[in-house]
Structure formats: C-alpha cells, structure tokens
Amino acid sequence: MEEESNQIIFILFSGAFLAALMATFVVSMVILHRQRQVQNKQKMDQIKAEYEKTILNIENEIQQDTLKHIGRELHDNIGQLLSLSKLYLASSKPEKQSEGKQLINQIISEVRGLSKTLNLDWVESISLEEFISQQLDKIKSTGFCEVELQKEGENWALDKDQKLVLIRVIQECLNNAIKHASPSFIRISMTEQDGKRKIQIMDDGKGFDTSLSSQGSGMTNLRKRMETIGGHFEINSSPGQGTDIILSLPI
C-alpha cells in the first residue's frame, strides 16, 4: 500500500514538474517571439529611416544642382539678354526697339522655364527614358563624345522615389565618365530581362581599378542608393578597358 502511495506521489510530482517545464517553455517561446517582433520592428524602422534619409539627400542634391544651373542661366544667358534688350530699347531706331521687345518676350519665356525647375515636380512629369535622352543630348551637343540610347520594353512606369534614385545614380555615373574616363563613346541601354529592369551604362574610356579605395567609396554610395529601392548596382572596369555599369530593379 505504501509502495502504491509512493508511486502515486511520484507520478503527481512528475506531472507537476513536466507541467511546470512545459509552462516555462511556452512562456520562454512567447517572450522570444515578442523580442523578435521588437527587433524586426526596430530593423524595419531603421530601414525606413535610411530610405527616407537617402531620398531626402537625393532631393537636396538635385535641388542644389538645379540652383547652380539657374545661377549659370541667370548670369550667362538671361543677363546677356537683358543687357542686349536694354541697348535695343534705348535706341532711337524703331527696328532696334522692336528687337528689344522681342528679347523681353524671350526673357519672360526663359524665366518661366527656369521657375518650373525650382521644385521636383518635373520628376513626375518626365519619363526615365526622356531624362536619359536629355542627358545624352547635352553631352553630345558639347562635342565631348558620341552617345547612344537603346530601349526595350514599353512599360517603364516608376514611382517618384525610384525615379529620383535612378536619376541621381545615372547622373553620377555620367559625371564620373565625363570627369575621369575621357571616352569617345557612351551608350545607355534600357532592357527588361528575368523579371528585372536593367539600365546599362557603358563607356570606352580609360577605365579604372575598382578595388582602389578612392574609387570604392563612391561606388559604395551608389550601391547603397540602389539598395534603398530594392535595386542592385554592378560595375565592371579595369584600366584601359572602359567601364560597364548595370543598374537593375525588380519589375
């Protein structure tokens, strides 16, 4: 009888111990799950903050470039037109006064055009293909080098933030080619492949060693910017072999 009582007590204690063990396990899993939720939320908040910071920096950079452009236009173009119109209007000859009035109308048109670039509304009103075409036309018009734009696929609809990042990254790539590569030819191609949109920027210039820290920091910045919009940045270059850059973005 005593032996049976001991067995019952043992079973009860064992059951209680197992129940406590299970309860501890469940509580531990709940706590761990909540900790992971908090960590994931913190990570998502950090990613969101970095994304917003990147977009804000890009907007500021583009605005600064826009202001520099406006300053040059006001000084070199509109300033000259104003001086000419002042001379024409001060003339006693009717034909000169008429030319002066025409110049005033041209100045008004130029100022209106500049005012539209003071905000970033133009980003939404222009397609990425149009932007790239404009950039290449500017390069070609200077006589710096020959250019080419190739495009496959019709639907390249992008939201404003994606377009902002791509615009800035493309600008930086073209600026680097102009400043450092001395190419005779630049080609940009826009393709769709394997569920991705790809922009390839190729030049036949000097090329460089991508492992050098002086070059790596700039490339790292461009790579991080592409990552903020879920994209990828890839560069292939070596001295004397030109540079090939591929920007890819999931459709």
CB-hemisphere CA count at 13 Å for 206?
10
- Which of 249 and 109 is assigned the larger pLDDT? 249
CATH superfamily of 120-250: Histidine kinase-like ATPase, C-terminal domain (3.30.565.10)
With a CB cutoff of 8 Å and minimum separation 6, the contacts of 74 are 114
CB 132: neighbour CB atoms within 10 A?
22
Q: Where in the chain is the domain with CATH 3.30.565.10?
A: 120-250
Cβ atoms of 212 and 164 within 8 Å: the answer is no
C-alpha 11, offset from chain centre: 68
Least trusted range by pLDDT, from 32-36, 200-204, 216-220: 216-220
Both tokens of 222, joined, read 């461009």
Structure tokens at 84: 């000419």
Torsion of CA 52, 55, 56, 60, to 10 degrees: 170
DSSP 1: -
Ramachandran class of 214: left when φ > 0, alpha when ψ lies in -120 to 50, beta otherwise: alpha
Question: pLDDT, tens digit, for every residue of 58-84?
Answer: 877 777 777 776 777 787 778 878 888
pLDDT tens per residue across span 153-209: 777 788 888 888 999 999 999 989 998 899 999 999 999 888 889 999 999 999 988
Question: 180 with 208: CB under 8 angstroms?
Answer: yes
Pairing of strands 243-250, 232-237: antiparallel
* Cα distances (Å, whole numbers) of residue 152 to 49, 129, 192, 199: 34, 11, 7, 10
Three-state DSSP state, 191:
strand
Residue 92 pLDDT > 90:
no
- Residue 57 CA, distance from chain mean position: 10
**What pLDDT is recorded for position 152?**
83
Confidence band for 216, pLDDT divided at 50, 70 and 90 = low
